[in-house]
Structure 1
Amino acid sequence: MRSLSFAAAFLVTTLASVRAYSLVDNYSGSSFFDSFTFFTGSDPTHGFVDYVDAGTASSAGLTQVNNNIVYIYADNKTVASSAGRQSVRITSNKSYNLGLFLFDVNHVPYGCGTWPAMWLVGPNWPNSGEIDIFEGVNLQSVNQMTLHTQEGCTMASSRNQQGSVVSNNCWINAPGQASNQGCSVTNPEASSYGDNLNNGGGGVYATQWGNDGIYIWWYPRNGIPADISNGSPDPSTWRSPDAAFPLGSSCPNDFFANQQIVVDLTFCGDWAGSVYGSSGCPGSSCQDYVQNNPSAFDDAYWSINSFKVYQ
């Protein structure tokens, strides 16, 4: 019996170690931007934005690293040209299949006309999937988390999550949903977006992507689990997620592959522009507001401690 107990204990210990996450990438500090490519093409979401290259962003002060904190700004000094307000969109050079992604942010862009996002996306969109971890527009009050896929991925209306379901069909062309709406969940926490997030000192967005599903948590600065802070994250000990997207028979797990990290800030466009008139923002034209009011974007910046990827 003694040897059996020892064997059982060894097996449990071994299985636990197999399941444990190990840090594979830490995007932070002065080398942060070395691991990303700057996107300079036309905005796929039709925003009023001029995405600039790395050299332009650096010389214009739109990208900075101070005291190991990464800052990404939009232009807040000039009336924008017809090309749009200068901003930054970066994509990680490395892609991932499964893992735990911890995005530690102090401040996120906010304000009328803005459309910031932190997300994961695969090639040949939407066939390799998209996972929107943080996203919102204008004066939105809470974060929205969304999957975008090819046809054949749906979610149940009732799931073990904290958030509220907005839509259940992840297919970008799903009938009865707005174009490219995907399957969305809103976060119940006021601190998950905008001024409330910024005034609270930020926090950590955690995304667990496994074969069985994709799960997203928001932890404000004063509520980050100790295992995240000490570098040994264990999602099995966390509360139920803010958004749960189970994968399996109703949404094949191979719909998500080779995901790259993307951070961007666009303006107006398909979402922020389409709801601008009902958002409580000045005037009726999102583009006019964004073009002619540079100081309105003093708060439109990212402050990032780190992006960490565990597998």
Structure 2
Amino acid sequence: MSGRWFHPRGSLARDGWETVVDGTIEGWEHTGLRVARLAAGEGLPLEPGAEKLVVPLAGSFSVRVTEDGDERTIELAGRASVFDGPTDVLYLSAAATAVLSGEGRVAVATSPTDEIRPTRRIAATETPVELRGAGASSRQVHNFGTPQALDAARFIVCEVITPAENWSSYPPHKHDEHTPGHESRLEEIYYFETAPSRVGGGRGTAEASFGMFSTYSSPAGEIDINAQVRTGDVALVPYGYHGPAVAAPGYDLYYLNVMAGPDAERVWLISDDPAHAWVRETWDGQEFDSRLPYTTDENKEG
């Protein structure tokens, strides 16, 4: 069952992309993701018919956008890695055609829709940065694609940085049932990256870096993922309780989340697993992890 919903790096490669998640996957309908490594001079087309969010993972990119008969090029300054703070991102309307070029690794979140929202560049400095949890459950969230930050038609997109030894996506929670004001129906993509911890003194290698991720069944359906995750791996959560996502000692963990569902309202409402919901109360009075937030400037300081 985990083989259906967990995909190691490269196993979803297609059409010049290292990863393609879309409606061709059985049981998948509302969200999509494309990930590529581009070299200088390369370009990849982005077709209309879905709203998109271009997220530089490492490197800088240009997007040549054609929409309503006009053509313009939008520059995304990017970052050295996903552990270097927020990045510029670009929301592309479902009517836009584009060509993506640059040098580095880039992700494109998608959701099929015919609703048109304005194409918009969100600068790194505009991105809401949230510290969530406390203590060993501290993590950093970049909310560039949430309803509070972005006027999108369907999807909710954010990224999470979890320092070495910390727990994230915890307590385990679900969003697979429509309960107005309490829970929304959202399928979810997790795209992972890992790296030696920035406070590890330079030891460890990118190839050895890893974290752990778990998903288990709810009344909405049976699912079982208990996997080591590394850079480029993808977990799909159509339903079920998901979490924790754990950063192994010595290694930092990143994931990009893409969520959308059939509900009329674009909102993220969750239900904790009742067996573990009490853990949130233990955070009261605890400080955030002193290593957070991770920023580009901090990295430059060494």
TM-score by length of 1: 0.26
Task: Choose between structure 1 and 2 for higher RCO, CA contacts under 8 A separated by at least 6 residues.
Answer: 1
TM-score by length of 2: 0.27
Which has the higher Rg, Structure 1 or Structure 2? 1
1 or 2, which has the higher helix percentage? Answer: 1
